[in-house]
Amino acid sequence: MTADLATAPTTTDPTRVRTFVRRNPTLIVTGGLLILITLVVMLLPPFLPDPNAADPVNRLLSPSGEHLMGTDKYGRDLFSRWASAGRVSIGMTLLITLCSVALGTFIGLVAGYFARAGRVIMRIVDAWMAFPSIILAIVFAVVVGPGMLSELLAVTIIFTPYTARIIRSRVLGLTTRTYVKAARVSGMGPWKTLAVHILPNTLPLAVVQCVLLSAGAMLIDGSLSFLGLGISPPTATWGNMVADGRTYLQTHPTMVIFPGLTIALFVFLLNLTGSALRAFVDPRARMLLDQQRRQRRARR
Amino acid sequence: MLGVILRRLRDLVIVLFVVGTALFFLLRSIPGDPAAVLLGTKASPEQLERLRHDLGLTGPLYEQYLHWLGNVLTGDFGTSIKYNLPVLQMIFDNIAPTLTLAIASTVISFMLTVLIVTWVTVAPNNRVARLVNRATQFGLALPEFWLALLAVYLFALTFGWFPTGGYTPLFEDPATAITQLALPVAVLVVGQTAFLTITMEESVLGELTQLYLRTARAKGVGERRIMLRHVLPNSMLPVLTTVGLNFASLIGGVVVIESIFIIPGLGTTLLGAVYARDFPLIQGGVMFIAFLFVLMNLLVDLAYALIDPKVRVS
């Protein structure tokens, strides 16, 4: 197994990418759908009615040709709110993910390269890892006031350790490679070695981590908006749309169903894409996937 | 063994100290005078002064901190501003519903997970088993708050099988309590089972690569017996860790479920404290959850030592 790892082709090899995609056709479907939803949400709002324009005459309409998702208690068009909420929710998810992966990669690099500091860092990381994120968000909502900043801080802090651990274990494997040793022997400083030789080798892993974490980020973003601890009305998010629709659950269930279903679908696609990509860069995951495949073949 | 316990107990104290101190300074760093915020603009200077004194907000910061630390060490976590009750008492009054939800959902999803994964491992050719296994994992993508509302819409509002919410202590009126708990627990079980099945499946797959299986097969042990006696018990360890850690974060994560089903638990209390800016209650509540978290870690480690002889030796 270790020999296999050492001689494994690099993840950026184009032919390998092509074979991988051919072997995992679902990746194209899930990735394509993700891009499609994102594009729809990003490009559509200019052509839709103002998501915050009240129209008291047309309050609480059911879905129809004119209002695809109906209207809410102020007569606002729910489809335009859905689209603009998508911009906010997807944007927030991306922001949180990028911040935590960047920070986590940095911590992982340092903790992996400097052995002694690394042990101390990892103990701290382990301790903070599973602290309930909603509780932390509550604390930050009190400290900086509920909104974008508190959500960003809380969720970034919660998600950073996941990336840090994965990147660190990768760095630990890389530091024993001959080219890293060669760099060190030829007098290259530790920071430069990290930036030039080690960081590029951890990037594929960081990208996959982005996809996997964004699924969790979207769920937490939803819960926080739902509780009123995230981005607050009148700005629509998928989470606070569900919260708004809650009052009319009995009479207008679609107000709750549509935005929630979008989150579920989006997260589901992110999970599928993420685990397929993980098999591409993570040898352990690849091993497990091969194992599954072999099992399946044995069954036939 | 005793060493492990002592080391863990020391960690517990350290973590509580760090969390408490961090929270203390975070909450004190909020701009503005909490007393003025709480009493509004009409408060007299005497009232403000009294409240500041009650909140421990007089004197320099380090003095406030030492004062707070001294109180905590003697078991005094302050008084809730909103309810005017000792924080510790408020926590214990509200912990029962949260614990009931957490324990019930953890136990049920653990059993479900073991059942499903055992089934799919012993009978890998069974289509139904594989379908159930795959279907559980959809649960990972479903937002809890949305699933809860859907459950309320379908099973409470449309069919009327269960009440939309509320809470009755389990031992006071079991029949009512169980109908009220059914929906919230079911929603929690969906998410948790998804998470646990994935953990256990990965662990089983990892175990299947082990070489001792070849030995077992070579000496003629049946495939079914290999799975039941070797693979499954050996893959329980990661699941146990996940259950333990998950349980602690569940206590916090139950907030959403409690607020939807109107259950007066720790989560609702804490959320109410945020809206009311009830600092002592927030501080006490969060420290209590941190305490539970470290305690669960400790219990998981002890369970490890009991199950896995390797851990006991080292």
Quick: pLDDT tens for A290-299: 766 666 666 5
List the single residue in A127, A229, A260 with the smallest CB-CB distance to B143: A260
* Selected residue with higher pLDDT from A75 and B138: B138
Contact state of A132 with B282 under an 8 Å Cβ cutoff: no
Give the Å distances, CA to CA, from A72 to A62, A199, A257.
9, 49, 14
Structure letter (DSSP) for residue B79: B
Mean pLDDT of A112-137: 75
pLDDT in tens, B26-81: 777 766 666 666 666 677 777 777 777 776 666 677 777 887 788 778 777 777 77
User: B186: closest CA among B254, B78, B108?
Assistant: B108
pLDDT-derived band of residue B155, with 50, 70 and 90 as boundaries? confident
- Separation in Å, CA of A184 to nearest CA in chain B: 35
Tell me what ipTM this predicted complex has. Answer: 0.80
Q: Answer yes or no: do A142 and B30 touch at CB < 8 A.
A: yes
Token pair in block for residue A2: 């270790």
The Cα B178–Cα B254 span in angstroms is 18
Q: Which tokens sit at A162?
A: 């996941």
Could you tell me which CATH class the domain B94-277 is placed in? mainly alpha
CA distance B74 to chain A (A): 24
Distance from CA of A129 to the nearest CA of B (A): 10
Q: How far apart are alpha carbons B26 and A154 in whole angstroms?
A: 13
Chain B CA closest to residue A291: B205
Is the confidence at residue A8, as pLDDT, over 50?
no
Backbone angles phi, psi at B86, to 5 degrees: -60, 140
Say whether pTM exceeds 0.80.
yes
Q: With an 8 Å Cβ cutoff, are A263 and B125 in contact?
A: no
Segment A252-277, tens digit of pLDDT? 888 888 888 999 999 988 888 888 88
Q: How far apart are CA A254 and CA A70, in angstroms?
A: 8
Least confident range of A5-9, A30-34, A121-125 = A5-9
How far apart, in whole angstroms, are the C-alpha atoms of residue B264 and residue B262? 6
Contacts of B23 in chain A (CB under 8 A): 139
Mean pLDDT value across residues A167-171? 85
Contact A127 B15 (CB under 8 A): yes
Option in A133, A219, A288 nearest B205 (CB): A288
Q: Does B223 touch chain A (CB under 8 A)?
A: no
pLDDT in tens, B73-89: 877 777 777 777 888 88
- B135 interface with A at CB cutoff 8 Å: no
Q: Choose which CATH entry (3.60.20.10, 1.10.3720.10, 1.10.10.10, 3.40.640.10) describes domain A27-57+66-299.
A: 1.10.3720.10
* DSSP for A190-231, written as a single string: HHHHIIIIIHHHHHHHHHHHHHHHHHHHHHHHHHHHHHTSSS
Q: Is B154 in the A-facing interface, judged by CB distances under 8 Å?
A: no
189-208 in chain B: CB under 8 A from chain A:
202, 205-206, 208
For residue range A24-73, list pLDDT tens digits in order: 777 888 888 889 988 888 888 777 777 777 777 777 777 777 777 777 77
| Digit-coded pLDDT (tens) for A203-224 | 888 888 888 888 888 988 888 8
Nearest Cα of chain A lies from the Cα of B178 at a distance, in angstroms, of 23
Residue appearing with tokens 């069974």: B126
Domain ranges of chain A: 27-57+66-299
Q: Which amino acid is at A131?
A: F
Chain B hits for A246, Cβ within 8 Å? 149, 260
For A242, phi then psi, to 5°, come to: -65, -45
Give the pLDDT score at A6: 42
Q: Which residues of B touch A157 (CB under 8 A)?
A: none
The DSSP secondary structure of A249-275, one letter per residue, reads TTT-THHHHHHHHHHHHHHHHHHHHHH
